[in-house]
């Protein structure tokens, strides 16, 4: 509907767009967060739509006794707020009776709960007092009116920060839910660099609460952590600026930034990262042949788009037509933006039909988009890569660089194979 | 508040989307927050549609709340009209927008668009998906149906009910068209699937209506009956008997002879069910759950056409509870009317069926309990929108049902061999049906352990336990359940071999 261009002297050309947005809400991030924090439960307070959304996003996971559920607001809950709090207490008690293994309960706000101004913060404080010390109860918003997709993780982690113990000692905190395998690789590399102690947010269990203080340096592993970063800075922690660890180059620069902050000699960085860089280079070669010169269009989804575009352009030789992102944190993404080719069109926000018009007109070789758009675009003979997989698949770090490239080359290889 | 993990039905606006997506030349503007667009992927992924559903969402955010959302809605309606130039539009609110109290009907009327714009009231906190589909279709028909034609050909009808994301609607429609064609009955309009608003205007030209799915089309058909004097047929042509009854009912309304269609090739189901390999199907205990239409029809086919015993029947469609209760009574059981999958799981565990016919959820419950299962109703996953022709309705549908119900079970000869040679390595107790891969399956006993946790434990003697192992594994769970029930009722401290056979005698009628 509206498109305001704000060209910078050099670097990418960033536009802001407003209109219909084909994106998930923050509730969706529960689907990977609950797997990361193994004794946490996520209780969405919302409508049948919220339950249906999570069911649709979780696919077959819904049948595996996952640690999330929805307290569906019914008509009688809308009548009076006092009643709603009693109802919520009843639902929480029933839930904890069924799941005595739960140590951390998140009350997750939704659009309906926010519009009726159900105070989940107060409910969490009350329930926390009642259920202590067995269960801590926190709240955050995953609603579509407040959050887009991965921002749900940001809101969740930000809710954890005030709860972290204080510590004056120097330490590194890596922030953002990563697959366990990736987390372990990073822990090894950072330890080999001589950085320590290294801790991760979120921890794998509710009891793992990384201490924070003025000597904590934190390194973002994901680009969508605006509120979490702010909350950490309120606790005195200091961010280490770095591009995100996607691809061999991204991983090296990310590790090097941490090493610099901890005074590690550059030679040691080269020595520690050499085996990983060599393996990644080998893994990426075959994929580069398929992606070099391919014109790529990225629809907004997760805020991973800018670092992904940087990887595709610099390491895979792809040409970028447009890089959409739901939000653009200019500070957190400064290092990645600086590595994009001059003049790259970066669009913050979305006006879906206008963006589809641009995509169709450009006829990209590969379009990265959500599942609602992928088959319709394939139906128009455009090759697509559905983006949500980038959140569920381990893609960060050296050992995953080849897998990351593979996610983009597979649709192209497939299109080349099919003859019927 | 209701604690929920799985829901059988989405909210009512999903039902409206199913109608809008089924049609052509219709656009739906949905006042909804950012995130509600997830619903698109039900259509693009589960049904593999190659076009976006014709739905524009306002996707408002927190910063828009206040006076702004009404303006956003108006802009979205105007922009959607400009871009898509539909013949008609429907407008409404999702659950969150319902709370905002912007008035989609009034706001879009104020735009003065030159097409019909139909407001939908879909109470998201009371009603669900199927109700939403039914209400939407009813509103569309009410607004768009032209007057009854002055002269009608008696042998013309409309087919009402198939939608997008319907369980096998695509293929059912082809079968039903074939039956009507055989009877010499012309199909005037099929709706919603494939119809444009202009087609709905022609509904009045037909002499009568064929309702395939009452969940979607009963309200509209009843209205057409009242206002347009169009009678309707609601007999589900599912199974051979159902199809015959349907053909007879339609032929009677059209004043044609049903015999040529009934004498034609028909279905293989009756012969397959009579062939001796099917003897082993006799009295197999089956639990049926789904939407009302499919559950009732599947129970009839299972009992009367395949020879199973229906030991459980239920639905999540509260609107059709009466029909399901009546059908359950005919099988001598009580219907289970619930949308809580945990209640369904408990009922299945208690009934100890040998086959479950249900939705995607029952497929997973059955998997957990180690019971064979076939899917007969929405909600479904992508594998139940198959590439091949796979109707539920008509004579070919009956063939499909026979295969679908029997396939998860052992073939007769295989089951016989397993029972006779169960100590042989090839035919040991844990062997799964050969056509389902060689992997051992969870024994049905786990079902019993999972079910009535509240009941006090009953102790088995070693000899009784050993004797129980001699019972074929596919009925062993039931034997254990019955024996324990028997022992508990008599407050027996220990189950002996004697108790096992006493219980067997007690329960065999």
Q: Do domains B12-128 and B459-508 have the same CATH topology?
A: no
Fold of B459-508: Helicase, Ruva Protein; domain 3 (1.10.8)
Q: Which helix (H) or strand (E) holds B314?
A: strand B309-315
- Asked if A353's CB is within 8 angstroms of B10's CB, the reply is no
- Pair A33, A90 in one domain: yes
Q: Chain B interface, mutation test: which of A29, A326, A359, A375, most B Cβ atoms within 10 Å?
A: A375
- Pair A297, A415 in one domain: yes
Q: In terms of residue numbers, what domain contains A392?
A: 283-419
What CATH architecture is B12-128? Answer: 3-Layer(aba) Sandwich (3.40)
Name the residue facing B1 among A53, A74, A115 (closest C-beta): A74
Binding residues of A for [4Fe-4S] cluster: 25, 50, 111
Which residue numbers of B are catalytic?
Answer: 277
- Asked if A75's CB is within 8 angstroms of B123's CB, the reply is yes
> Does ipTM surpass 0.90 in this model?
yes
Q: How far is A398 from chain B (nearest CA, A)?
A: 32
Name the residue facing B96 among A71, A112, A371 (closest C-beta): A112
Chain B hits for A115, Cβ within 8 Å: 65, 96, 99-100
Residue A52 and residue B58: Cα distance in Å, rounded?
A: 19
Tokens at B137, concatenated = 């279709």
Tokens at A375, concatenated = 């088959």
Pairing of strands A104-109, A68-72: unpaired
A3 burial via Cβ count (<10 Å: 0-12, 13-18, 19+): middle
Cβ-based neighbours of B327, under 8 Å, separated by 6 or more: B295, B296, B299, B300, B313, B335
Contact by Cβ (8 Å): B138, B158:
no
Q: Alpha helices, DSSP H only, in A292-351?
A: 305-310, 334-338
Kindly report the CATH number that applies to the domain delimited by B145-263.
Answer: 3.40.50.1980
Determine the pLDDT at residue A404. Answer: 97
Classify residue A412: in a domain, yes or no: yes
Pairing of strands B309-315, B285-290: parallel
- Asked if A88's CB is within 8 angstroms of B1's CB, the reply is yes
- Asked if A23's CB is within 8 angstroms of B34's CB, the reply is yes
Chain B hits for A88, Cβ within 8 Å: 1
Chain A hits for B375, Cβ within 8 Å: none
Q: How far is B94 from chain A (nearest CA, A)?
A: 8
Q: What is the dihedral of CA A12, A18, A23, A28, to 10 degrees?
A: 100
Domain tally, chain A: 3
Q: Which chain A residue has its CA at the smallest distance from B99's CA?
A: A115
pTM comes to 0.90
Query: Per residue in A282-313, pLDDT tens?
Result: 999 999 999 999 999 999 999 999 999 999 99
CATH of the domain at A207: 3.40.50.1980
The stretch B437-445 carries a mean pLDDT of 44
Determine the pLDDT at residue B65. Answer: 87
- Pair A246, A331 in one domain: no
Name the residue facing B94 among A21, A49, A78 (closest C-beta): A49
Determine the pLDDT at residue B373. Answer: 93
Q: What is the DSSP letter of B46?
A: I
pLDDT of B449 above 60: no
- Asked if B100's CB is within 8 angstroms of A95's CB, the reply is no
Fold of B268-409: Rossmann fold (3.40.50)
Tokens at B446, concatenated = 């786990």
Chain CA centroid to CA B481, Å: 30
Percent of chain B with pLDDT over 70: 90
Contact by Cβ (8 Å): A161, A173:
no
| Final residue belonging to a domain, choices A132, A147, A162 | A147
Contact by Cβ (8 Å): B502, B484:
no
Classify residue A272: in a domain, yes or no: no
Query: Per residue in A50-68, pLDDT tens?
Result: 999 999 888 777 777 789 9
Chain B hits for A56, Cβ within 8 Å: 38-39, 41-42
**Domain layout of chain B by residue ranges:** 12-128, 145-263, 268-409, 459-508
Query: Per residue in A221-261, pLDDT tens?
Result: 999 999 999 999 999 999 999 999 999 999 999 999 999 99
- Pair A326, A399 in one domain: yes
Q: Which chain A residue has its CA at the smallest distance from B361's CA?
A: A63
- Asked if A71's CB is within 8 angstroms of B61's CB, the reply is no
């Amino acid at each position: 509907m509206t498109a305001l261009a704000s060209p910078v002297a050099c670097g990418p050309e960033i536009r802001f767009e407003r209109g219909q947005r084909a994106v998930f809400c923050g509730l969706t991030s529960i689907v990977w967060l609950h797997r990361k924090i193994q004794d946490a439960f996520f209780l969405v307070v919302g409508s049948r739509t919220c339950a249906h959304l999570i069911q649709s996003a979780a696919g077959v996971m819904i049948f595996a006794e996952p640690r999330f559920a929805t307290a569906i607001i019914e008509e009688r809950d809308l009548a009076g707020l006092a009643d709603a709090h009693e109802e919520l207490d009843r639902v929480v008690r029933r839930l904890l009776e069924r799941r005595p293994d739960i140590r951390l309960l998140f009350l997750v706000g939704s659009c309906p709960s926010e519009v009726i101004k159900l105070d989940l913060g107060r409910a969490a404080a009350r329930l926390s007092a009642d259920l202590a010390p067995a269960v801590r109860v926190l709240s955050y918003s995953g609603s579509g009116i407040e959050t887009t997709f991965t921002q749900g993780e940001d809101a969740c982690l930000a809710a954890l920060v005030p709860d972290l113990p204080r510590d004056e000692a120097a330490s590194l905190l890596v922030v953002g839910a990563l697959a366990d395998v990736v987390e372990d690789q990073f822990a090894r590399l950072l330890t080999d660099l001589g950085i320590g102690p290294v801790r991760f947010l979120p921890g794998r269990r509710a009891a793992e609460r990384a201490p924070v203080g003025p000597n904590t340096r934190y390194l973002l592993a994901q680009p969508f952590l605006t509120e979490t970063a702010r909350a950490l800075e309120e606790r005195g922690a200091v961010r280490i600026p770095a591009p995100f660890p996607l691809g061999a180059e991204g991983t090296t620069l990310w590790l090097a930034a941490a090493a610099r902050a901890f005074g590690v000699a550059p030679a040691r960085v080269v020595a520690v990262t050499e085996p990983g860089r060599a393996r990644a280079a080998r893994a990426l070669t075959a994929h580069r042949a398929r992606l070099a010169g391919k014109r790529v269009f990225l629809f907004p989804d997760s805020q991973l788009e800018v670092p992904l575009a940087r990887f595709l352009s610099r390491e895979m030789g792809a040409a970028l037509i447009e890089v959409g992102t739901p939000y653009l944190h200019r500070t957190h993404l400064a290092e990645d933006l600086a590595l994009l080719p001059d003049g790259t069109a970066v669009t913050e926000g979305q006006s879906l039909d206008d963006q589809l018009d641009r995509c169709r007109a450009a006829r990209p070789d590969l379009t990265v988009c959500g599942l609602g758009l992928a088959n319709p675009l394939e139906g128009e003979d455009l090759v697509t890569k559905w983006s949500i997989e980038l959140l569920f698949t381990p893609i960060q770090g050296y050992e995953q660089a080849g897998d990351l490239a593979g996610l983009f080359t597979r649709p192209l290889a497939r299109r080349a194979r099919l003859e019927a | 508040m209701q604690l929920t993990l799985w829901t059988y039905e989405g909210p009512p606006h999903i039902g409206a989307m199913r109608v809008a997506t089924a049609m052509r030349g219709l656009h739906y503007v949905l006042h909804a927050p950012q995130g509600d667009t997830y619903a698109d992927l039900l259509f693009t992924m589960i049904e593999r549609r190659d076009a976006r559903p014709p739905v524009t969402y306002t996707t408002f955010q927190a910063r828009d709340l206040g006076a702004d959302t009404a303006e956003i809605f108006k802009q979205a309606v105007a922009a959607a009209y400009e871009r898509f130039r539909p013949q008609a539009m429907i407008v409404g609110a999702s659950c969150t927008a319902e709370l905002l109290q912007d008035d989609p009907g009034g706001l879009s009327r104020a735009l003065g668009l030159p097409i019909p714009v139909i407001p939908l009231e879909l109470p998201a906190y009371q009603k669900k998906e199927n109700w939403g589909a039914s209400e939407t279709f009813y509103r569309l028909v009410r607004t768009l149906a032209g007057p009854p034609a002055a002269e009608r050909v008696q042998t013309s009808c409309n087919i009402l009910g198939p939608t997008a994301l319907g369980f096998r609607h695509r293929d059912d429609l082809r079968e039903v068209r074939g039956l009507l064609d055989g009877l010499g009955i012309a199909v005037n309009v099929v709706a919603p699937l494939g119809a444009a608003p202009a087609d709905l205007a022609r509904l009045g030209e037909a002499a009568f209506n064929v309702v395939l799915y009452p969940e979607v089309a009963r309200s509209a058909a009843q209205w057409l009956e009242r206002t347009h004097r169009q009678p309707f047929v609601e007999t589900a042509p599912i199974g051979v008997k159902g199809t015959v009854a349907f053909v007879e009912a339609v032929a009677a309304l059209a004043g044609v002879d049903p015999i040529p269609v009934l004498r034609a090739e028909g279905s293989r189901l009756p012969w397959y069910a009579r062939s001796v390999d099917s003897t082993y199907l006799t009295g197999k205990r089956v639990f049926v759950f789904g939407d009302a239409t499919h559950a009732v029809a599947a129970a009839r086919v299972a009992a009367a056409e395949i020879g199973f015993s229906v030991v459980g029947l239920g639905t999540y469609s509260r609107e059709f509870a009466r029909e399901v209760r009546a059908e359950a009574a005919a099988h001598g059981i009580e219907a289970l009317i619930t949308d809580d999958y945990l209640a369904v799981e408990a009922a299945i565990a208690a009934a100890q069926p040998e086959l479950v016919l249900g939705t995607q959820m029952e497929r997973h419950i059955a998997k957990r309990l180690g019971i064979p299962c076939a899917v007969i109703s929405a909600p479904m996953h992508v594998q139940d929108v198959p590439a091949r022709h796979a109707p539920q309705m008509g004579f070919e549908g009956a063939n499909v049902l026979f295969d679908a119900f029997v396939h998860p079970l052992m073939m007769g000869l295989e089951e016989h061999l397993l029972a006779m040679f169960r100590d042989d390595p090839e035919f040991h107790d844990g062997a799964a049906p050969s056509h389902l891969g060689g992997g051992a399956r969870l024994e049905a006993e786990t079902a019993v352990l999972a079910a009535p946790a509240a009941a006090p434990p009953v102790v088995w003697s070693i000899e009784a336990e050993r004797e129980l192992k001699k019972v074929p594994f596919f009925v062993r769970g039931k034997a254990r359940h019955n024996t324990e029930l028997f022992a508990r009722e008599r407050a027996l401290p220990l189950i002996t071999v004697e108790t096992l056979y006493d219980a067997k005698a007690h329960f065999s009628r």
